[in-house]
Chains A and B, each alone.
Chain A
Amino acid sequence: MKVTAQDVKYIAQLSRLIVPEADLEKSTEEFNQILNYADILQKIDTTGIEPTPYVLPISNALRKDVAKEGVTHEEALLNAPEVYNDGFKVPRVIE
């Protein structure tokens, strides 16, 4: 077993998600199924192989430092679930 139910809980917390207790066993099982399958990667020797973070060999996509008008204040807050003093309202930040 690669991960325990406890690990799954920790990963959920890091992801800001909750796995309900009732689903924990099944989630852990699915997790392990995929991670066990990932073992096949260990068969491949990747010594000296560079990773591919970018598919195409392009570089220096840079733009000029010119400021443009952004969106209006109303547009900015259009989808805000709650608003307070022209800002996006959030419940207390410290518990």
Chain B
Amino acid sequence: MNTYEPPIFELSGSGKVGASLPAVGVPTSELPSELLRTDDLQGLPELSETEVVRHFTRISQRNFCIDTGMYPLGSCTMKYNPKIHEEAARLPGFAHIHPLQDEASVQGALRLSYELQQLLAEIAGFDEVCLQPAAGAQGEFAGILVFRAYHLDRGDEQRDEVLCPNSAHGTNPATAAMVGFKVIEIATDARGNVDLADLRAKVGPRTAGLMLTNPNTLGLFDEHVQEVAQIVHDAGGLMYGDGANFNAILGIVRPGDVGFDFMHYNLHKTFTTPHGGGGPGCGAVGCKAFLAPYLPGPIIHHENGQYTRYVPEKSIGRVKSFMGNFGMFVRAYTYIRMLGAAGLREISENAVLNANYLRVKLQDVYPVAYDRPCMHEVVLQGKLKDAPDIHTLDIAKRLIDFGFHPPTVYFPISVAEAIMIEPTETESKQNLDAFIAAMRQIAHEAVETPEVLHAAPTTTPVRRLDEVGAARKPVLKYDRAAIAALRGQAASTDDQIVRPTY
């Protein structure tokens, strides 16, 4: 089954149809010639229903997902999404409602949203939560707009800088720049924490805030997070928490208790709503009471047994239509309710344990960027002894042949040849051991048979893709002649493409 699937246009055959239409009862006429396609596609593809179903089924089977294998993509928290979430989200009272319905007729949905706000606020130590942002980056965008609104509202107009440690998520500096702030990078110290001396040198009256991902993208919990918060607060700045790595500290640390003023939650990571391939996501945001008047809206309010929607008085406005992605609220709520407080803590304990298990079992072969216990993910380096021509990319590609999705590679950029592995709490010890065995086997091959790694992957429908060529000379439009030419080149090497047969 592991064969190349051509574009549907190449499966077309003149006259094949997938539907039987009634006989035409009126005279027919041709379309005006100026409306007819003359390009390479020569019209829409013509296929039978069987062929269409097979084509798309085959493509779906090429998909590697968390339901087919381990997906240790660092920083992404690719953990199993319990199927009961789908049952809950499909209940008619949740699935068959409309945001423009009268509030009185959707009290259950509003109650669930309200209780989720309360749960998220409690879990992270905040006073108010808005569920509207559709993704982490949108939550960040909302948060930095709230910081801006807060400072301007107080007449504090000179704050035009946002500090971002170089261990932050890439979206943090992008967010600050998008809102119009100047991004100031803060160095990392020898233990992987924010460099306090560099922070003290760069913080000041122009600091609007600092964006901290904690645990950071090195998989390390910042050991002086409270001191970082103190320094920023003393300068009049605010603390933004990127909750992308919240999966590591549930029930153990509440960001609101250690100095964060605002945070986004990734319901599609930490709280197991579907993620990747379009989600849709939810980047709910939480904050301390003094920032609540600026939150986006609507937020759900509960009084006298009634649930209603309101927009805060000084709100930055909507960041998404209606309530956001309501189906995700149902899934995250189900998850939190099923696990309870003790279960949430156990999730983080196991996520951290699994990452450290991998670290300890691999660190004699793959150098560890920072030699200290990690949190939910570990950053190794693809620098193998006696294998100078093997790079992280080769190791990642070879993992595909062993049936694993490659980890995040070349990120964080502060670590040379980074391999960032996040196993999550939902992998069994057997799976972790299989992954360890594969990584050790690859390290062995790197020395003994490096050509195997350079050729990887070899078990996929297509071989090593020319990523440099694709970036330098992208082919952005379907071009039958160009593809035929590329295929001719491939056929002349051992990269034979096996055509499917029907």
Tell me, yes or no, whether A binds B.
no
Which residues of B line the A interface, CB within 8 A? Answer: none
